[in-house]
Amino acid sequence: MPAPFRIEQTKGDDKLSEYLGKLIKLIPGPALGIYLTGKGLVPGTAVGWWALVGLVLVVVFRIWGTQDKKLGQNPQWVVVFVSAVSFIIWVYAVGDQIATVALSTPWIASVAVLVWTGLTPLFVKGA
User: Where in the chain are the domains?
Assistant: 27-123
Helix (H, G, I), strand (E, B), or coil: what is residue 101?
strand
* R_g over Cα of the chain: 15
Decide if pLDDT at 103 tops 90: no
> Would you place residue 27 in the very low, low, confident or very high pLDDT band (cuts 50, 70, 90)?
very high
> Would you place residue 76 in the very low, low, confident or very high pLDDT band (cuts 50, 70, 90)?
very high
Decide if pLDDT at 72 tops 90: no
pLDDT for the residue 1: 64
pLDDT for the residue 105: 83
Tell me the pTM: 0.90
Residue 19 CA to residue 62 CA, distance in Å, equals 19
pLDDT for the residue 44: 83
